[in-house]
Amino acid sequence: MTKHLTVLLAAMFATVTLAQVAFAQEKKKADPVAVACKDKKPGDVVKVDGKDVKCPAPKAAAKK
């Protein structure tokens, strides 16, 4: 019984620890339109995934 409980607790500890690490490692992928429009003017047309897309105007800084 004690061995089973120890194994169960160790497995739970490993699961909880590794789950947090997995979520922390998840990265935000860069927006393909933003990458394609880098160093371009708003309104310029670029190809993204085979489609023509207009570059958007830069967003204004958020007010606090």
Rounded Cα distance, 51 and 23, in Å: 32
Contact 21, 7 (CB under 8 A): no
Place of tokens 């497995």: 11
**Which tens digit of pLDDT belongs to each residue from 5-48?**
999 999 998 888 877 766 665 555 668 888 888 888 888 999 98
Task: Answer yes or no: pTM beyond 0.85.
Answer: no
Residue type (1 letter), 14? A
Residue-range domain boundaries for the chain = 2-54
Convert 12-35 to b/e letters by CB count within 10 Å (16 or more is b): eeeeeeeeeeeeeeeeeeeeebee
Contact 32, 50 (CB under 8 A): no
